[in-house]
Amino acid sequence: MLTFFKKYKFLAVVLLVLSIIIISVIYQILKPKEVLKIYQPADVSTELVDSTLQYVKKYHTIADFSLTNQNGKMITQKDYSDKIYVADFFFTTCQTICPIMTDHMVKIQEELKNDNEVLLLSHTVTPEIDSVAQLKKYAMEKGVDDAKWNLVTGDKKEIYDLARKSYLAAKDVPYSENALVHTENFVLVDKKKRIRGFYDGTDPEAIEKLLADIQILKQED
């Protein structure tokens, strides 16, 4: 019996390796492809969605926009055409959650600095304070890569509506000149302008999840 096993030991090892390879291939074929959810207004807490959209269950996309970045350049949806991007809302004088959020955006920028499919977009919620010059100063202090990340200012009503009606990211505050959209949400947007994820921009674990989800999103056709 021992002689038999010794004689066929090599063949047994080969068969074992082949079996492992075949099982692995079958598993990969049968394993369901991971796909991110496409978020609609009806999927999100009503406090984060404008009342006119709370029951919308399909076809929601980010509205067209026209804002000015830290270099005085007009930024529109065309600059993000066929791109995956991460959006957030901040202001340069914020001393609470914004510094943490910006540091996390810097981390995302560094992780994806060589990835041309992914961009970043940060909207100031105090455009009356955050002029182009102020945004440029902030961008330089934080190490913002102008080719990767736009900090944008513009009409306050437009920014407010983007937060409430497009990105579904800010709690309901009746609009006024003194209104302040203050949200920790990072929003992941796909190449078709659809929302694919929400993440707490102050939570390091959520940022890791965001980075992982970007890779999943990139695998979509």
Confirm or deny that 182 is annotated as ligand binding: yes
Strand, coil or helix: 95: coil
Distance CA 145, CA 143 (A): 6
Look at the block and give the residue holding tokens 């074992």.
16
**Phi/psi of residue 118, nearest 5 degrees:** -120, 130
- Number of other CB atoms surrounding residue 23 within 10 Å: 10
Distance CA 86, CA 180 (A): 21
Confirm or deny that 123 is annotated as ligand binding: no
Instruction: Return all residues near 118 (Cβ < 8 A) that are at least 6 apart.
Output: 83, 84, 85, 86, 112, 214
Task: Identify the CA nearest to 86 among candidates 134, 154, 170, 150.
Answer: 150
Side-chain half-sphere CA neighbours of 5 within 13 A: 2
Confirm or deny that 104 is annotated as ligand binding: no
Task: Identify the CA nearest to 153 among candidates 167, 172, 142, 139.
Answer: 139
Instruction: Return all residues near 190 (Cβ < 8 A) that are at least 6 apart.
Output: 36, 38, 84, 196, 217, 220
- Binding-site residues for Cu cation sit at 94, 98, 182
- Binding-site residues sit at 94, 98, 182
